[in-house]
């Protein structure tokens, strides 16, 4: 769990209270002239303990204000994933910039290595898949009032293993399309056992009115390694840039890929549970 996030929440909260107290504070859209950086390679690779194929995507950066969700694909790359038990799989390019495994099987406890040769440069990364951690319970509670108004709270419990150094990511999605890709708008729900080692963990997601009776909520508990946690944690820092007022100078996330590539390569286990809101 990242304490500084709560601190930030608190500080933003204080700012809001202060603004309210001074009857002030406003926001406006402004025009900012940003440089156009040279396109830079982005590699995104995942290996899980679920059935493959596992996907590695290779693309390039674009201009910041350009209205698009499609970015230049890097094609014709040589992409190989190996593990420390002797598996090796050369990934096939199934569409431009998307490379899929054929034989690889992700197994908890093993370490996976990625090698990409693209446009004359070689990029390497490795990631260890931790032991699997299972969701113990998943339930919802209707809250008639309180902060954020009425609505459903989703509770997830799981037990942290006795040895320290566990890292987690939780994803919660709904069967019904909602504006955000998470049921409460929280994009990266990350946890460490720094302060909670070996304990029963209980996490609450305040879904509010994003969740209605009849919706199916899917929760994935990912056990990730430290480097992946570090990556997603620093990624979250810059994506929550609406807190930039108090945060330090932003920087690209701490990637585990060599040779200056953006993106990450992560091996992790996934435990999925579903609940239907009644």
7 binds another protein per the rule CB under 8 A: yes
- Phi, psi for residue 11 in degrees, rounded to 5: -70, -40
Region 129-168 residues binding another protein, contact defined as CB under 8 A: 146-147
- Tell me which of 190, 237, 268, 277 binds another protein, using CB under 8 A: 237
What distances in angstroms separate CA 173 from CA 79, 149, 211, 267, one per listed residue?
Answer: 31, 20, 10, 21
216 scored as a contact of another protein (CB under 8 A): no
Q: 239, 259, 274, 276: which one contacts another protein (CB under 8 A)? A: 239
- Minimum distance between the CB of residue 234 and another protein, rounded to whole angstroms? 4
Q: How many residues does the chain have?
A: 278
**CA–CA dist 227, 241 (Å, integer):** 22
Contacting residue, 85, 134, 185, 204, with another protein by CB under 8 A:
204
Please tell me whether residue 186 binds another protein under the rule CB under 8 A.
Answer: no
CB of residue 238 to another protein, shortest distance in Å? 6
The residue (of 34 and 86) whose beta carbon lies closer to another protein is 34
User: CA–CA distance from 195 to each of 18, 155, 165, 167, 278 (Å)?
Assistant: 31, 20, 11, 12, 34
According to CB under 8 A, which one of 80, 230, 267, 268 is a site residue for another protein?
A: 230
Only one of the segments 74-82, 120-128, 132-140, 200-208 lies at the binding site for another protein (rule: CB under 8 A); that segment is 200-208
Counting Cα atoms < 13 Å in the Cβ hemisphere of 224 gives 25
Q: Which of 81, 91, 235, 257 binds another protein (CB under 8 A)?
A: 235
Q: Is 177 in the site for another protein (CB under 8 A)?
A: no
CA distance 263 to 241: 18
Number of other CB atoms surrounding residue 143 within 10 Å: 17
Residues 27-86 within binding reach of another protein (CB under 8 A):
27-32, 34-37, 39-40, 42, 44, 59-65, 67-71
Q: Which residue has the tokens 């693209």?
A: 118
Say which residues have a Cβ less than 8 Å from residue 227's Cβ, sequence separation at least 6.
Answer: 127, 254, 256
| Residue 75 Cβ vs another protein, minimum distance, rounded to whole Å | 16
């Amino acid at each position: 769990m990242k304490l500084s996030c709560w601190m930030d929440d608190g500080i933003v909260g204080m700012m809001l209270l202060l603004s309210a107290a001074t009857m002030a504070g406003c926001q406006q859209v402004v025009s900012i002239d940003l440089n156009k950086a040279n396109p830079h390679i982005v590699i995104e690779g995942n290996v899980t303990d679920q059935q493959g194929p596992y996907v590695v995507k290779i693309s390039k950066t674009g201009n910041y204000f350009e209205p698009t969700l499609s970015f230049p694909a890097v094609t014709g790359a040589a992409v190989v994933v190996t593990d420390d038990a002797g598996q090796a799989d050369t990934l096939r390019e199934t569409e431009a910039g998307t490379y899929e495994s054929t034989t690889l099987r992700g197994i908890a406890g093993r370490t996976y290595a990625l090698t990409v040769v693209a446009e004359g440069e070689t990029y390497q990364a490795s990631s260890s898949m931790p032991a699997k951690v299972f969701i113990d319970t998943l339930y919802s509670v209707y809250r008639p009032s309180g902060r954020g108004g009425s609505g459903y709270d989703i509770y997830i419990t799981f037990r942290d293993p006795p040895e320290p150094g566990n890292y987690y990511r939780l994803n919660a999605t709904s069967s019904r399309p909602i504006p955000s890709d998470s049921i409460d708008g929280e994009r990266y729900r990350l946890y460490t056992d720094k302060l909670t080692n070996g304990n029963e963990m209980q996490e609450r997601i305040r879904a509010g009115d994003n969740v209605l009776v009849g919706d199916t909520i899917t929760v994935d508990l990912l056990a990730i390694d430290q480097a992946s946690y570090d990556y997603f944690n620093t990624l979250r820092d810059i994506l929550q840039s609406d807190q930039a007022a108090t945060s330090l100078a932003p920087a690209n996330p701490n990637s585990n890929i060599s040779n200056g590539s953006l993106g990450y390569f992560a091996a992790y286990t996934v435990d999925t549970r579903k609940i239907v809101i009644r």
